[in-house]
Structure 1
Amino acid sequence: MNTTKTLRLGPLPKTESTKITFSCPISLKAELDRYAALHAQAYGDAVDAVTLIPYMLDAFMAGDRGFRRRQAKNEKATPA
């Protein structure tokens, strides 16, 4: 199975980070672990779910058109 083209999340960039903690259902944690295993298989770098979560959230927010529209609207309303 060629997962390289089927995963929405590509190779991970190196970035500065901060730590936050959140709770999720056990079923979601299992899915995140499965995704991490597929990601490692596709890109050759072993990563855990905790490493992937920020990039998944970033991709989700980048794809949320309503959020982007409101963000742009707020930036226009705020004088520089």
Structure 2
Amino acid sequence: MADLKLGKLPDRTPVKLAIAVSPDLHRALADYATIYNEAYGQSEALAELVPHMLAAFLASDRGFAKAREAITRKAP
């Protein structure tokens, strides 16, 4: 096997997740999508934005990152 700087890419198969949200949250998400689309001059569906919104939220949550690091160290 070749010794490459780039390791094998991780699994990128999307996982479908269905959730129910409150009407207030749905309106807020729809408003966010409208503002996003106006800001960038392109139309992105809410369903396309939500995974990126969740990823950004998790990436910015330092408490989550610290706790997650602790549980991954415990994993066998």
Question: TM-score when scaled to structure 1?
Answer: 0.67
Runs of 4+ in 1 over 6 A off after TM superposition: none
Equivalent pair of 1:33/1:48 in contact (CA under 8 Å): no
Aligned length: 65
Identity %: 31
- C-alpha separation between the residues in 1 aligned to 2:47 and 2:19? 10
Among 20, 23, 26, the residue aligned to 1:26: 23
Q: What pairs with 1:1-80 in structure 2 (closer than 5 Å)?
A: 17-78=14-75
Q: Given the superposition, is the C-alpha separation of residues 20 and 78 from structure 1 closer, same or farther in structure 2, using an over 3 Å criterion?
A: closer
- Structure number with greater CO (CA < 8 Å, separation at least 6) is 1
Distance 2:56 2:16 in 1: 18
Gaps of at least 5 residues in structure 1 are 1-14
State the TM-score, normalizing by the size of structure 2.
0.70
- Bigger radius of gyration: 2
Unpaired segments ≥5 residues, structure 2: 1-11
